[in-house]
Structures are given as C-alpha cells and as structure tokens.
Chain A
Amino acid sequence: MKKKVLVEDPKGKFLKIYMDFDETINEIVITGDFFAHPEQAIDELQENLTGAKAESGEIKRILEDFFEEKGVRMYGISFEGLYKGIMECLEGEDDG
C-alpha cells in the first residue's frame, strides 16, 4: 500500500512523508523544510524504518532510539511529528 501524508510538526514545519508498506515498511521518504545536523541522520532513520514491522510499537521504538542518539541536532522536525505522520500513513486509505 502506498501513502503520502502532510503533517504539521509541533516544531513548526511541515513534514511530507511518503510510505510504501504491507506488513513491513518497504520504503519511506521523509521530506520537508526542516534542518538536521548531520543531514545523513535522516537517511539513516529512513534505513532504520525500512524493513520494520508496520505497527505502532515498532515504529515508536525505532523513533525513540533515533531521538535518544546523541549528537543529532534537529530543527523543525520532532519525534511527535514523525510518529504522527507515519501513523497517518499506516491508518489511511491507499493512495495508489
């Protein structure tokens, strides 16, 4: 199933998340006008989410692990925004 959602991150920026999933996440692309230092951290997060079970517990665990990692500085993107966006993808209708 393919989904694309737009969520307003509580940190003030818009996140657009594209996801292709069935029982597991096949592909996820996180886009938006936020900042992350180092930038590659977001690519790593996408990799961590790819292949993960498409269910809230697993998603939450991966996001928590990511946000607990020291040294990644983010502006305009947060745990809450990402979690909300990914869950909206999982719960919504197929976009085709």
Chain B
Amino acid sequence: MTVRLLLTGYSTAARNMAIDESVLHHVASGDSPPTFRLYGWKPPAVSIGYFQSLAEEVDLDVCDELGVEVVRRITGGGAVFHDDEVTYSAVIPENWGSVPDSIPESYEYICGGILKGLEGLGIDARFQGLNDIAAGGKKISGNAQTRRKGMILQHGTILISIDLERMFTLLKVPSEKTRKKLIDSAKERVTGINDILTNHVSFEDVISALAGGFERSLGVEFERSELSENELSMADKVAGEKYGTEDWNHMR
C-alpha cells in the first residue's frame, strides 16, 4: 500500500496545527490520500491539550519574553514544549488497513512505527500507558489522538533533547520550590534521543529513521509529496482564523 509522506520542515505553531487540520479535512473528503507528515516547530512553542486552560498552564509573559509561541491543539492531553524534537502526524481513516477500532490499541498500532524508527537509531524503546513511549524507563515520545469525520488524526513528538529548566519556566507551577522539584523529577522521567546516543543525530536523521520505522511497522511504502493547493489555502485560512486567535487559544 502506498501512503503519502509530507516533509513540511519547520513552521510556526499556528501553521503546524492548521496543516494537520487541513490534511484531516482533505483526507476525510477523499481529496487527499492517507497521509503521514513529519515536521518541526520554529520558533519553539508550547502546545496545550484541547481541554486545558492556556492561562492556567502556561506563563504567557515568559513565553513572550523568550519568543516561544503558544497554541491549543484539537487533541486532548497535556502541555508540550516543542523545541529540539521531531513531530509527526498521521491522518488515516478509522477503518484503514488493520488499524484497531479501540483507541488504546490504535495508539499502540501507530506508535509501533516510532518504536521501529527509534530501533533504527539504536534505541530500544517501549510503548507504555495509553499513549507514551519510553526508552530506559524514561518518556521519549508523547502522542495524542482525535477521531473526527471517520478519520484518526494522531500526532506526537519524539524528543531529540529536552531543556527541562526552560520548559518549567514556560509552564506554570504552584511555587518556585515545586519548580525545582518538578525539574529534578522530570530529569528522572524524561529523555531525548541525544541523551541516549553518544553519536548525536540531527533533525533530518530522526526524520529518515521515523519514516523508515513507519513503513516497516505498518507495512506501507511512502511516496514523498507536497500539500495540495486546496490543503495549502485551507491551512493558511485556519492558521489565521483559528489557531492564531485569542478566541481559540483562550477558549478554556
């Protein structure tokens, strides 16, 4: 089976989320084929889960000072600091190939590609809980899924490295004292590819490894492609009229 692969490089937070939504819309309407996309965030950004409160979770003044963008996702889950990482999104019909109907099982099914990708880089990782991947017991990838219009949109991040001090200045914490504790405990629980490998890898290395991982795990062949004209114009529109607005980002 041939599947479309989009490598869209780095984009702003609003544009990244708008592209995912536009692809979801166009795969659902049958105008675009099932699609995997690999991408990054520039400038760095914090994304929050659909049900989170932006003002409660994120220190917007600090984000502003440090040039970090913020955006609400259409998927649930927690706040994520997107910096030195690769993000993927998969947009496939709910009844596609052998994808399980159960949400927990479908997370594991799609995450199988990340495990294979990490394996290709020499990292032994495992799927854990509902939607995480851990290497050496530490979380290296978080994933979130929504189901709309008969489609699964799953996106997630694979950490290359993580600056936890920076992350916890961007996220709101109950007090300075707990900030230190949270950082210390996160150091025990979170890791990145380049924290594990002695020969450090680049954004591009991780993208090729993940693309190969998804192909092997899902038994598909990727065909490199670009966003269609219609996808691009909807992405532009949705970036400006939804993901870039206070109404959406401060909805809760």
Contacts and interface: CB of A to CB of B under 8 A. Distances in A.
Interface stretch (B2-10, B20-28, B144-152, B180-188): B144-152
A64 to B, nearest CB: 21
Contacts, number: 52
A22 interface: no
A32 B51 contact: yes
A31 B77 contact: no
Interface in A28-58: 29-39, 42
A76 B129 CA distance: 11
A17 B144 CA distance: 22
Interface residues of A: mostly helix, strand, loop or mixed?
strand
Interface residues of A, number: 17
B30 to A, nearest CB: 21
Give the interface size class of chain B: 20 to 34
B103 A73 contact: yes
B103 A39 contact: no
B76 interface: yes
Contacts of B50: 39
B18 interface: no
Contacts of B51: 30-34, 36, 39, 42
5 contacts: A31-B52, A32-B52, A33-B78, A34-B77, A75-B103
Interface of B: 49-53, 56, 74-79, 103-104, 130, 144-148, 252
